[in-house]
Amino acid sequence: MMIPTSHPDASEMARLTARMLLEIGAVHFNADEPFTLASGLPSPTYIDCRKLISYPRIRATLMDFLTVTVMRNAGFEAFDNIAGGETAGIPFAAMVAERMALPMTYVRKKPKGYGRNARIEGVMKEGERVLLVEDLTTDGGSKLSFVDAIRDTGATCGHTAVIFYYGIFPETEKTLGDHGIALHSLCTWWDVLAEAKAQKAFGAATLTEVESFLNAPTEWQEARQG
């Protein structure tokens, strides 16, 4: 167990996180042929945080960053259990739990339909304070189901930690806040865009189009639907 305590400030962690995501090719910008998000809406941006698990130095650094961010923001003794959301959150929850010397569990998207028909795998006890770890959040919606499953056990869950937060949909933090959940993240699309510009990682026209999307995502999507 190694509990990280000394790390850069939040803005430098955001810059370094963005740099790492760009370095491993987890960031995709394509204004000409937009990606389709899980919501069905078009986007000139796509991020694949799952790739991080294949890069040991980067994943170790980011998990140190995530652990220290949560402890700075929520408290050093704020949690009893670390839960990962199926499936992308599971490896990251395991790595954070290891650093914090806490039990790890994971939450299924839906009950498996046989056996105990449980949504929680591992041991989660009534009254435990649980941190939900995920790879990313777009609008916060998918987190609510995981949090409800955790609360159904009698445990509490008031915090979720993610590597990447879109940071462009203003309702996200309200959606989570109304559900009693605080969001902790390492970087957003704005951090990635700033680093991509600094590195000239994409063509100028692509970066301009991405910036127009980030400034008004709903309008950008509506203009390109149908």
Question: What average pLDDT does range 53-79 have in this prediction?
Answer: 96
Residues 6+ apart with CB under 8 A from 45: 27, 28, 29, 35, 189, 210, 213, 214
Q: CB of 16 within 8 A of CB of 61?
A: yes
- What's the predicted TM-score (pTM) here? 0.93
Query: Which residue type sits at 91?
Result: P
Q: How confident is the model at residue 35 (pLDDT cuts 50, 70, 90)?
A: very high
Cross-strand partners of 45: 29
SS3 category, 144: helix
Of 107, 92, 97, 179, which Cα lies nearest the Cα of 150?
A: 107
Q: How far apart are CA 177 and CA 180, in angstroms?
A: 5
Residues 6+ apart with CB under 8 A from 112: 118
Question: What average pLDDT does range 159-187 have in this prediction?
Answer: 95
The alpha-helical segments, DSSP class H, found in the chain are: 10-23, 56-74, 89-100, 141-151, 172-178, 189-199, 204-215, 217-223
Of 19, 85, 9, 4, which Cα lies nearest the Cα of 52?
A: 19
Strands 129-137 and 156-165: parallel
Give the percent of the chain with pLDDT over 90. 81
Cross-strand partners of 30: none
pLDDT of residue 158: 98
Structure-token match 């000394």, residue found: 6
Q: How confident is the model at residue 199 (pLDDT cuts 50, 70, 90)?
A: very high
pLDDT of residue 117: 65
φ/ψ region of 14 (left if φ > 0, alpha if ψ in -120 to 50, else beta) reads alpha
Q: Is 226 a residue whose pLDDT tops 90? A: no
Residue pLDDT, tens place only, 118-171: 899 999 999 999 999 999 998 888 899 999 999 999 999 999 999 999 999 889
Please, what's the b/e burial string for 193-225 (b: 16 or more CB within 10 A of its CB; e: otherwise)?
bebbeeeebbeeebbebbeebbeebeebbeeee
Instruction: List domains and CATH numbers for the chain.
Output: 10-221 (3.40.50.2020)
Q: What is the dihedral of CA 73, 17, 146, 98, to 10 degrees?
A: -70
pLDDT of residue 83: 98
pLDDT of residue 10: 95
Residue pLDDT, tens place only, 11-21: 999 999 999 99
